[in-house]
Structure 1
Amino acid sequence: MAKTTKKPTSTRVVSNARKSAPGGRRSQQTTFIIVASVIAVAVIIGGIIAINRASNDKAKTAAANDAKSVAELKAGVKKIAAAIPADFPKSTVTPDAIVIGNEAAPVTVDMWIDMQCPACKQYEAQAEDTLQKDVMAGDVILHVHPTAILNRMSSTNYSSRAGNAVVCGAQQGKFTAFQNALFAYQPEENSAGLTDKKLIQIGVAAGLDEASLTTCVNKSEQASWIDNSTKAFAKNGYNSTPTVLVNGKQMQQGTLDELTAAIAAAKAAK
């Protein structure tokens, strides 16, 4: 009897077709994986682009803000410098003081200061007009002694750095403008203080030569001068700034009235 060939059932046909046809399950899974991978890569690339774009935007904003801040700083310092009379005597630097005024003046006012000292800033503000008038009249010669007794009040030895900078400025004859500007922008105590870059920006805006000031500040060329001044301050028995003397007599009250009366008395005694 001849064998009868059985036809595959419909279920087996479908199963075989799924295993062998080009468009079967395995092919579909492969296609899905490829598509998913492409999408994932696109998402990652898009994320990177977005992050870079955000970072660039932040950098541009920061740069714009910094430029605005520098412009405002320069304008403020120039205004401070412009308030000093054009014929106000230039400063000179001796081994122990910054000197401003006529050597023949009958009255010598010694001022021991620290650029980090808030009380120095306040005293300078109240005494500035009186001292400028007396110096220009030839009645007073100023001996200013920047020191660094408050380095502990900053994390970067700001007193030493700012003291060095202001002596650098005094060598160029423009101590008063630089000092006034540094006091105006005096940093908070227990902070990092102004950076060297900021000190230079303030000095240049006050009228100092940028190249000379930059070298002097970056190389701390007057660091030993400040160290010696600080040692002299202690040797003299002083313990706080500002310490002000009129013809060798130390002021005790820290007021403008006291200073004015002392200068008048010293002039009368000559």
Structure 2
Amino acid sequence: MSENNRDVKRNARERLAVEREKQKAAEKRRRALIVGASVVCVLALAAVVGVLAANSGKETKKTDTAGPAVSPSGATGKDGLAIPVGKDGAKSTLTVWEDFRCPACQAFEAMYRPTIHELVDAGQLKVEYHLVTLIDGNLGGSGSLRAANAAACAQDAGKFTEYHDVLYENQPTETDDAFADNAKLIELAGKVDGLDTPAFRKCVNDGTHDSWVVKSNTAFQNNGLHSTPTVLLGATNIYADQTMTPAKLKQLVEAENKS
């Protein structure tokens, strides 16, 4: 074998050895990347699971409505889902389905409240309030639920009407879930004489009437209602009547009481 042939074969073997070393190094890097990626995926999955678990715990704490529905004191109607305001002997009954986060409900209150209070005080009108959580369902959050529970707690204390009005007077913007904070609801109770008591605070913080509010909202849906406020005078939805005014409502109620 010539010297040149031996050199060619030696060089070929050396190149082959170098190539094999390169392949081994590449294989090690590939395996390291696979292991590293697997570790990252496992850690990421663990982090996601941890976040979901933490958020799940927070949500359960905020909106947990397990347990029997506890109606507020004096609640009437089917399943005790209505909070009555006014004298039982009034000939006219106004049925109001409302959500304390609902801006249209606040607008209705601002326009009709003086007339409603006047007719109630005169013994001509009885109002049955049904509390729902429409905005919570549409926008998320729990302000509708929390405020409704607090209003039911105020009913227990005989202060529903006053607190009801305070909630609307201090209603946050629709997208601001400020009423989800029990501390805010208790702070607003300070605007009603004699309402901010240990019993009221416990009722609010414990969510005593949460399940009752959920049951009321279910009744709202089962009745085929889709918007708040829904305001019925007898069987007539006066809120849907574009010609309705406070003065016209007063005339209707007075006429019914004279008949």
2: distance between equivalents of 1:96 and 1:263?
24
5 Å-filtered alignment, 1:229-244, equals: 229-244=216-231
AA at the equivalent of 2:185: L
1: distance between equivalents of 2:217 and 2:95?
14
Secondary structure (helix, strand or coil) at the match of 2:161 reads helix
Residue 249 (1) aligns with residue 249 (2): no
Q: Which residue pairs with 1:97 in the alignment? A: 82
Secondary structure (helix, strand or coil) at the match of 1:108 reads strand
2: distance between equivalents of 1:264 and 1:238?
28
Residue in structure 1 matching 2:211, options 224, 230, 239: 224
Q: Which residue pairs with 2:249 in the alignment? A: 259
Secondary structure (helix, strand or coil) at the match of 1:145 reads strand
2: distance between equivalents of 1:154 and 1:237?
20
Q: Which residue pairs with 2:187 in the alignment? A: 201
Residue in structure 1 matching 2:200, options 197, 200, 213: 213
1: distance between equivalents of 2:185 and 2:138?
18
AA at the equivalent of 1:260: K
Q: Which moved more, 1:123-132 or 1:144-153?
A: 144-153
1: distance between equivalents of 2:114 and 2:247?
13
Q: CA RMSD in A?
A: 1.9
Deviation at 1:154, TM superposition (A): 5.1
Change (3 A) 1:155 1:239: closer
The answer (yes or no) to whether the contact 1:96–1:229 under 8 Å persists in 2 is: yes
The answer (yes or no) to whether the contact 2:124–2:254 under 8 Å persists in 1 is: no
Deviations along 1:204-263, whole A, 9 cap, x unmatched? 331204211111111100111111111111111111111111123221226424433432
AA at the equivalent of 2:75: V
Change (3 A) 1:237 1:154: closer
Change (3 A) 1:233 1:262: farther
Higher relative CO (Cα under 8 Å, sequence separation at least 6) belongs to 2
Change (3 A) 1:261 1:239: farther
The answer (yes or no) to whether the contact 2:104–2:229 under 8 Å persists in 1 is: yes
Larger radius of gyration: 1
Deviation at 1:153, TM superposition (A): 5.3
1: distance between equivalents of 2:99 and 2:185?
15
1: distance between equivalents of 2:119 and 2:141?
36
5 Å-filtered alignment, 1:129-168, equals: 129-152=114-137, 155-168=140-153
Secondary structure (helix, strand or coil) at the match of 2:178 reads coil
2: distance between equivalents of 1:243 and 1:266?
21
Residue in structure 2 matching 1:127, options 91, 112, 116: 112
The answer (yes or no) to whether the contact 1:160–1:226 under 8 Å persists in 2 is: yes
Count how many residue pairs are aligned between Structure 1 and Structure 2: 179
Secondary structure (helix, strand or coil) at the match of 2:221 reads helix
AA at the equivalent of 2:149: N
Deviations along 1:112-136, whole A, 9 cap, x unmatched? 1100011111111111111111111
2: distance between equivalents of 1:259 and 1:196?
35
Q: Which residue pairs with 1:173 in the alignment? A: 158
Q: Which residue pairs with 2:55 in the alignment? A: none
AA at the equivalent of 1:144: Y
Residue in structure 2 matching 1:183, options 168, 181, 190: 168
5 Å-filtered alignment, 1:26-175, equals: 92-94=74-76, 95-152=80-137, 155-175=140-160
Structure 2 gap segments, 5+ residues each: 1-72
2: distance between equivalents of 1:144 and 1:215?
23
Q: Which moved more, 1:223-232 or 1:252-261?
A: 252-261
Q: Percent identity?
A: 32
